[in-house]
Amino acid sequence: MTVTVEPAQAWHIAPIARDMRAWDVRECAAFGASPVRALKTGLAGSHMVWTALVNERPVAMLGVAAVSLIDGIGHPWMLGTEEVYRQGRTMMRLYPVYFGQMKARFPRMENHVHRDNDKARRLIRRLGFQFEPEAHTVGGEPMVRFFLEP
């Protein structure tokens, strides 16, 4: 299997949305978006955005949307398919490269993840983020804010 990363393109949206991980679908819904809408919004509204492909098939899109360019604050995000987990070792080598680029531009980053999405929380923690201790409800789902500060 060949894993590559390239700048995200609109055609990447449909294959990722069609096979999106259940947790990602649930998180999108909590924020009032379908998988397609969330990916379109992420692609259009992000300062940096890439797609991970396995054998030239899009499996995940990740990026960072600017909250404040002046203050260097961004919202990192990633939405993907189960293939992300099947390619876990390779993906774990790639994530730091792209999150490093995000961090260089946005030294302060924050977003939310479902309280019970253990796999995502482990990855987020490995990337150096911290979590607020208490969850809050978004769209009926318990979400936890994660953040990175310089």
Which tens digit of pLDDT belongs to each residue from 82-98?
998 888 788 778 888 89
User: How close are the terminal C-alpha atoms of the chain, in Å?
Assistant: 36
Instruction: Round to whole Å and give the CA distance between 51 and 48.
Output: 11
The predicted pLDDT at position 78 comes to 94
Kindly state the average pLDDT of the residues 93-105: 89
* 47 CB burial (10 A radius; 0-12, 13-18, 19+): middle
Kindly state the average pLDDT of the residues 25-31: 97
Q: Rounded mean pLDDT of the chain?
A: 94
pLDDT band at 14 (very low <50, low <70, confident <90, very high): very high
- Is residue 105 within 8 Å of residue 148, measured between CB atoms? no
The predicted pLDDT at position 143 comes to 97
The predicted pLDDT at position 89 comes to 80
Q: pLDDT per residue over 52-92, tens digit each?
A: 999 999 999 999 999 998 899 999 999 999 998 888 788 77
Q: pLDDT per residue over 125-140, tens digit each?
A: 988 999 999 999 999 9
**Quick one: the chain helix, strand, coil %, rounded to 5?**
40, 35, 25
User: Could you give all domains of the chain from N- to C-terminal order, each with its CATH number?
Assistant: 3-108 (3.40.630.30)
Kindly state the average pLDDT of the residues 99-121: 94
For the beta carbon of residue 91, count every other beta carbon within 10 angstroms: 21
The dihedral over CA atoms of 96, 120, 25, 22, expressed in degrees to the nearest 10, equals 120
What's the token pair of residue 101? Answer: 């680029």
Query: Residue 68's beta-bridge partner residues?
Result: 73
The predicted pLDDT at position 85 comes to 84
